């Protein structure tokens, strides 16, 4: 057969031609067409009497580009059988194919071929060998290749540094970078990005600043890839200020830049700033993706920020942004945590597909919002899907639902199904037994699982003591907490409240002196409410608000009406986690959550829901007073404390008195 023109065997191995586009809407047909053309190309190359290595290289590269490394190796095998001498382009590609096929034995043979054909000094071959050994054997073998290579460059060293990062050895990776600096090697963007990633793992701000300085000296500080990496590096090193300074100085930003900065603020609790950045990003006409959305949603998962969460949801619909499973789960979580359980349920029911996270969020959401029975019903529905594997988080959610619904029998049944119960599962079981008043069973459970000295367990027991007024047992538990956590001011506050409730004022004064001498600072109670995009914060006995006079007048009116209709004693505050002594010194209507509720009542439209957040557990007095207020004003009042959401409506609370 006569030799074909060189132009033919150059172009034939390509998978497709510009004038023959393959529809991406038909992936199977597309793949079949590619395979057919590659088979044809292989036949043509095989029939060429004396083909050059270039044709084989093209065929090998095409198979690699189409994610078919096994065929690439097959082509190399055929090349060897034909006696075609590989060139310096062949071996790096074959080494890459060996790595992708996890074929270390063949990789070693190709290494031998590199020596045989005189390519052992070729930089492309060296870098391919470093990556092969680093990924399939050991990073130390890759280092041996580099150390024994007759020549190397910054690319090879950067690859080795990356391998150290994969092997979780950032201290060795940064040493490679420092070595490059000592050798005055060329520092390119990839080397800087790798160094920045190393600093992120090391959490070394000093080293991070050094890398930033090198980037500045190399004129690469504002290379977009480098800038984004430096910004993330500072965030990971807990220096949000330096990350923001770099962000503000960047001449151009992409979606990654904005998303990283938003994530940084959310991570550091700067929710309002994160929301501002998101608005600026959309004004700059940069369209958020699913990662951006899931990054900003935690900033909306708060009662004061629920409007922004709703606006973001509407924004996605208006702009046709993909609502994948991760985004839908994030929205559900946001609605659950901001107290909109109905909206979370709407998202859940509209989902075409659900994973175990979807079900867990919804079950947990129902129990957090006082609807434990619905959470248990949802779990029973979830169990019908055999494709879902129940994990420890789902079991924790369903146990929490059992606690809220006070279903001891169901809780014990589910707990027995957990193969390896965690402390969280055990704490929930103690909470369930204690809240049901089964203290003997709770003590037996604690002893069996050897969790007597876990503070979480003791606090769960204390909840039961508070609900069932087990004052003596509660005092012993508080004293035990003081022994286990001698530097936790909350424990001394609990003990002080117990003494105050029992009129042992000398002990109250003694404990206050102890707290002061130890330099401890008990948390003070605060409540806040959002109105017209502004957050209004109230402390106990607060009279600083501009509408304070109207707030107190409204409360006095409600108090008078409540006394006329109901009367009743003020509940005990023995086991409150904040210093109720300060609240004893002012009347009930001076408590922070009541002040916030009153502000909501006088500021919002009639029948509108009032939403308040408190930094500490709602005290018993306020809990009962709010129930009465909800009945008098015929409004729904929602208070979120660290424990759960309290939905007050028509004189009832979703927590069923187990707050």
Q: Token pair 């930094």 is at which residue?
A: 615
- Which domain does 553 fall in, by range? 524-565+574-651
Helices (H) and strands (E) in the chain, counts: 34, 6
State pLDDT tens for residues 83-125. 888 988 899 999 999 999 999 999 999 999 998 888 988 899 9
State pLDDT tens for residues 119-153. 988 899 999 999 999 999 889 999 999 988 888 78
Q: DSSP string of 198-262?
A: HHHHHT-HHHHHHHHHHHHHTT-TT-HHHHHHHHHHHHHTT-HHHHHHHHHH-S---HHHHHHHH
Q: Token pair 């702009």 is at which residue?
A: 319
From 471, 516, 470, 472, select the one nearest 493 (Cα to Cα).
516
Whole-number Cα distances in Å, 49 to 44, 52, 348:
10, 10, 65
Q: DSSP string of 78-133?
A: HHHHTTPPP-TTHHHHHHHHHHHTT-HHHHHHHHHHHHHTT-TT-HHHHHHHHHHH
The encoded tokens of residue 256 equal 């990654």
Rounded Cα gap, residues 552 and 596, in angstroms: 11
Model confidence at 253: pLDDT above 50: yes
**496, 438: one domain:** yes
Query: What pLDDT does residue 587 have?
Result: 59
CATH of the domain at 439: 1.25.40.10
* 366 SS3 class: helix
State pLDDT tens for residues 619-635. 878 888 899 999 999 99
- Rank 23-37, 147-161, 351-365 by mean pLDDT and report only the highest: 351-365
Contact 53, 89 (CB under 8 A): yes
Q: At 245, is the pLDDT very low, low, confident or very high (cuts 50, 70, 90)?
A: very high
State pLDDT tens for residues 409-446. 999 999 999 999 999 999 999 999 999 999 999 999 99
278 domain residue, yes or no? no
Q: DSSP string of 401-454?
A: HHHHHT-HHHHHHHHHH-SS--HHHHHHHHHHHHHTT-HHHHHHHHHHTT-TT-
505 domain residue, yes or no? yes
The encoded tokens of residue 583 equal 């609240």
Q: Over range 637-653, report the average pLDDT.
A: 89
Q: At 534, is the pLDDT very low, low, confident or very high (cuts 50, 70, 90)?
A: confident
**495, 535: one domain:** no
Query: What pLDDT does residue 563 have?
Result: 80
**561, 642: one domain:** yes
**546, 625: one domain:** yes
* 609 SS3 class: coil
**429, 445: one domain:** yes
**511, 536: one domain:** no
- At 563, which helix (H) or strand (E)? helix 548-565
**534, 628: one domain:** yes
464 domain residue, yes or no? yes
Q: Over range 318-343, report the average pLDDT.
A: 89
Contact 540, 591 (CB under 8 A): yes
598 domain residue, yes or no? yes
Give this prediction's pTM.
0.77
The encoded tokens of residue 452 equal 């007597």
269 domain residue, yes or no? no
**629, 511: one domain:** no
Q: Over range 582-610, report the average pLDDT.
A: 82
From 618, 577, 617, select the one nearest 455 (Cα to Cα).
577
**547, 587: one domain:** yes
pLDDT-wise least confident of 40-49, 178-187, 241-250, 399-408: 40-49
447 domain residue, yes or no? yes
Q: Token pair 């709010």 is at which residue?
A: 626
Query: What pLDDT does residue 3 have?
Result: 34
Rounded Cα gap, residues 389 and 385, in angstroms: 9
105 domain residue, yes or no? no
Rounded Cα gap, residues 41 and 71, in angstroms: 13
Q: At 659, is the pLDDT very low, low, confident or very high (cuts 50, 70, 90)?
A: low
**473, 561: one domain:** no
**480, 551: one domain:** no
Rounded Cα gap, residues 653 and 390, in angstroms: 31
Q: Token pair 């590619």 is at which residue?
A: 34
Beta bridge partners, 639, equal 612, 646
* 530 SS3 class: strand
Pairing status of strand 534-539 against strand 637-640: unpaired
> 349-353 — which CB contacts under 8 Å span 24+ positions?
351/325, 353/325
Residues 57-87 as b/e (b if ≥16 CB within 10 A, e otherwise) read bbbbbbbbeeebbebbbbbbeebeeeebebe
Residues in the chain, how many? 659
**647, 528: one domain:** yes
537 domain residue, yes or no? yes
If one counts the domains in the chain, the total is 2
* 649 SS3 class: strand
Q: Over range 565-586, report the average pLDDT.
A: 52
């Amino acid at each position: 057969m006569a030799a074909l023109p060189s132009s033919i065997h150059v172009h034939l191995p390509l998978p497709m031609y510009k004038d023959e586009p393959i529809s991406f809407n038909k992936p199977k047909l597309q793949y079949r067409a590619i395979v057919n053309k590659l088979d044809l190309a292989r036949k043509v190359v095989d029939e060429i009497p004396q083909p050059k290595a270039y044709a084989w290289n093209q065929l090998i590269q095409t198979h690699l580009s189409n994610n078919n490394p096994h065929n690439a190796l097959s082509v190399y095998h055929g090349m060897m059988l034909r006696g075609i001498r590989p060139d310096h382009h062949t071996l790096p590609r074959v080494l890459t194919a060996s790595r992708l096929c996890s074929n270390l034995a063949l990789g070693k043979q190709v290494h031998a071929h590199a020596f045989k054909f005189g390519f052992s000094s070729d930089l492309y071959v060296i870098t391919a060998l470093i990556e092969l050994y680093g990924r399939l054997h050991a990073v130390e073998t890759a280092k041996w290749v580099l150390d024994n290579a007759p020549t190397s460059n910054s690319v090879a060293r950067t690859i080795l540094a990356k391998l150290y990062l994969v092997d979780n050895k950032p201290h060795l990776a940064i040493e490679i970078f420092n070595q490059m600096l000592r050798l005055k090697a060329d520092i390119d963007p990839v080397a800087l990005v790798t160094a920045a990633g190393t600093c992120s793992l090391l959490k070394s701000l000093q080293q991070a600043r050094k890398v930033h300085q090198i980037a500045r000296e190399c004129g690469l500080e504002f290379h977009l890839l480098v800038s984004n990496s430096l910004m993330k590096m500072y965030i990971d090193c807990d220096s949000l200020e330096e990350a923001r300074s770099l962000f503000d100085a960047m001449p151009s930003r992409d979606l990654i830049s904005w998303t990283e900065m938003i994530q940084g603020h959310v991570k550091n609790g700067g929710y309002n700033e994160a929301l501002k950045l998101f608005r600026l990003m959309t004004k700059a006409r940069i369209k958020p993706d699913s990662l951006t959305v899931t990054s900003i949603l935690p900033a909306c998962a708060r009662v004061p920020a629920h409007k922004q969460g709703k606006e973001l949801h509407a924004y996605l619909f208006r702009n046709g942004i993909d609502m994948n499973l991760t985004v839908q789960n994030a929205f559900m979580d946001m609605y659950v945590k901001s107290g909109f359980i109905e909206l979370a349920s709407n998202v859940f029911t509209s989902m075409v597909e659900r994973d175990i996270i979807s079900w867990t969020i919804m079950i947990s959401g129902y129990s957090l919002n006082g609807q434990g029975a619905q959470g248990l019903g949802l779990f029973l529905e979830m169990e019908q899907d055999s494709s879902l594997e129940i994990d420890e988080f789902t079991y924790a959610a369903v146990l929490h639902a059992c606690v809220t619904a006070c279903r001891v029998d169901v809780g014990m049944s589910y707990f027995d199904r957990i193969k390896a119960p965690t402390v969280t599962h055990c704490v929930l079981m103690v909470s369930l037994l204690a809240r049901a008043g089964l203290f003997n069973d709770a003590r037996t459970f604690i002893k069996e699982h050897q969790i007597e000295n876990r503070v979480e367990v003791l606090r769960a027991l204390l909840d039961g003591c508070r609900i069932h007024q087990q004052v003596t047992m509660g005092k012993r538990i508080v004293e035990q907490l003081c022994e286990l956590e001698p530097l936790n001011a909350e424990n001394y506050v609990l003990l002080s409240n117990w003494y105050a409730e029992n009129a042992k004022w000398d002990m109250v004064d003694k404990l206050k002196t102890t707290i002061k001498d130890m330099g401890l600072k008990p948390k003070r109670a605060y409540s806040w409410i959002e109105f017209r995009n502004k957050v209004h914060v109230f402390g106990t006995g607060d009279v600083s608000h501009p509408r304070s006079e109207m707030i107190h007048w409204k409360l006095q009116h409600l108090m008078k009406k409540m006394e006329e209709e109901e009367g009743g004693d003020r509940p005990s505050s023995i086991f409150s986690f904040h210093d109720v002594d300060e609240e004893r010194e002012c009347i009930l209507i001076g408590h922070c959550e009541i002040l916030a509720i009153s502000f909501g009542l006088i500021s919002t439209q009639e029948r509108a829901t009032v939403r308040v957040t408190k930094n500490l557990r709602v005290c018993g007095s306020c809990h009962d007073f709010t129930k009465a207020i909800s009945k008098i004003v015929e409004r729904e009042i929602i208070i979120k404390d660290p424990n759960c959401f309290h939905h007050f409506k028509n004189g009832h609370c979703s927590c069923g008195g187990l707050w």
